[in-house]
Amino acid sequence: MFNTLDDLDPEQRVLVRLDLNSPVEDGEVQDNRRFDRHAETVAELADGGHRVVLMAHQGRPGDDDFVSLEQHADILSGHIGKDVKFVADTYGDEAIEAIESLDAGEVLLLENVRMCDDELPEEDPEVKAETEFVQTLAPHFDAYINDAYSAAHRSHASLVGFALELPAYAGRVMESEYQANSSIATREFDGQVTMVVGGTKATDVIDVMNNLGDKVDQFLLGGIAGELFLRAAGNEVGFDLEGMDFFDDQWEANRETIESLLDERGDQIKLAVDLAYEDETEDRGEIAVANITEKDRPYLDVGSMTVDEYDPIIRDSEAVFVKGALGLFEDERFAVGTVGVLEAISETDCFSVVGGGDTSRAIEMYGMDEDDFGHVSIAGGAYIRALTGAPLAGVEVLKQD
């Protein structure tokens, strides 16, 4: 296990890696759950008298959302209730001067780390530790804290290099995410363990099901991945229509594995019995899978009968894990599946983890209380890797002696 903030000596100058990567709309950075979560770590450090310097990324070079972190500093200030200074530099003279001038309890955010040539691409931690970026900044700090669990599957300089040069610790987000997302592999549950799996990437679903087949009693499928499994079961769904690019390529890449999973673990896998679509009046329509003779329209959610079948399975479970949405929940017409399973989980006294891409956003969008879930993850790729048993580079370096 790694050291946490509980092990940190008092009054240190600390370099803290956060993940504040957020949607950007018309040039405006959007506030989201990540700011609120990371605010706990930042506020604890500042209130403890540490000099706090923050690193984060936004977008990738060449993308529309590759912007400065100046707006992020203002948003984070609102969450921690104190000023977050910003410097439009990462490890140059301006950044070093700002770092050295910090007083106890003050907070500074450096510029987007992906504006540094040394941050990307992914390389071994030992290589990243020798970069100019790390070698220049590290001597100005007493400790490094990684709180960016959602980016911990990346071997980038700010995520793995500093941990080899400084005493390294996990922040509160890193600590809680790691414990919750690793629990399916590390905890023993006496009762039924259920996993709701959906989303758009069949490979993710397959890897999770292959890795966790001996630990999960029931897989409840939906989304594009669920439709591909229905296709493998002999139903006339899971095909691309004109203008689509969701199903056929994934089918060719994963067909044998999907068919093998159904053959070997069919008693563990529950598939949708009905699907929802947009009807001629632009309302929600539903059709039983058994009645589909040809795919002539997109299916955008599992149907109400499917939710009725999934609901008691969830309520009878000791633990429920969610990876991916069962439908296009951003459209209220097609949120029945995703919201239905989340509501069942929230009303059940079970251990639960909700994560995978944007799925957790449905909790806030549809007025559910995050406190009714065991853990709501802000991680996407890292959550998937944890479920599939793959190591996370940013976590592994924290474990080093």
pLDDT, one tens digit per residue, over 66-90 is: 999 999 999 999 999 999 999 999 9
Question: Per-residue confidence at 361, pLDDT binned at 50, 70, 90?
Answer: confident
Least confident of 13-17, 48-52, 363-367: 363-367
Count of CA atoms in the C-beta half-sphere (13 A) of 200: 10
Q: Give dist(CA 194, CA 203) in Å, integer.
A: 19
Is the pLDDT at 249 greater than 90? The verdict is yes
Taking residues 265-283, what's their average pLDDT? 97
Is the pLDDT at 343 greater than 90? The verdict is yes
| Residue closest to 230 by CA, chosen among 314, 313, 299 | 299
> What is the 8-class DSSP label of residue 102?
P
Angstrom CA distances, 306 to 220, 294, 310, stand at 10, 20, 6
Count of CA atoms in the C-beta half-sphere (13 A) of 62: 0
Which residues have CB under 8 Å from 319's CB, separation 6+?
A: 183, 184, 187, 189, 191, 192, 193, 194, 350, 351, 352
Q: Give dist(CA 91, CA 88) in Å, integer.
A: 10
Compute the mean pLDDT over every residue in the chain, rounded to the nearest whole number: 96
Tokens of 183: 């629990």
Q: Give dist(CA 273, CA 303) in Å, integer.
A: 7
Question: Per-residue confidence at 265, pLDDT binned at 50, 70, 90?
Answer: very high
What pLDDT score was predicted for residue 134?
A: 98
Is the pLDDT at 401 greater than 70? The verdict is no
Is the pLDDT at 356 greater than 80? The verdict is no
What pLDDT score was predicted for residue 380?
A: 86
Structural element, H or E, at residue 232:
helix 223-232
| Per-residue model confidence as pLDDT tens digits over 159-207 | 999 999 999 999 999 999 999 999 988 888 999 999 999 999 989 889 9
Angstrom CA distances, 105 to 13, 45, 48, 52, 70, stand at 10, 7, 7, 7, 20
Taking residues 232-246, what's their average pLDDT? 96
More confident residue, 400 or 300: 300
Question: Per-residue confidence at 98, pLDDT binned at 50, 70, 90?
Answer: very high
Is the pLDDT at 1 greater than 90? The verdict is no
Q: Give dist(CA 299, CA 333) in Å, integer.
A: 12
Question: Per-residue confidence at 357, pLDDT binned at 50, 70, 90?
Answer: low
Chain Cα centroid distance, residue 136: 31
Q: Give dist(CA 150, CA 156) in Å, integer.
A: 13
pTM of the model: 0.91
Tokens of 11: 């009054």
Taking residues 229-250, what's their average pLDDT? 97
Strands (E), 50-133: 51-55, 84-86, 107-109
Count of CA atoms in the C-beta half-sphere (13 A) of 90: 22
| Per-residue model confidence as pLDDT tens digits over 118-152 | 999 999 999 999 999 999 999 999 999 999 999 99
Question: Per-residue confidence at 213, pLDDT binned at 50, 70, 90?
Answer: confident
Percent of the chain past pLDDT 70, that is, above it, reads: 99
- Helix and strand totals (H; E) in the chain: 15, 17
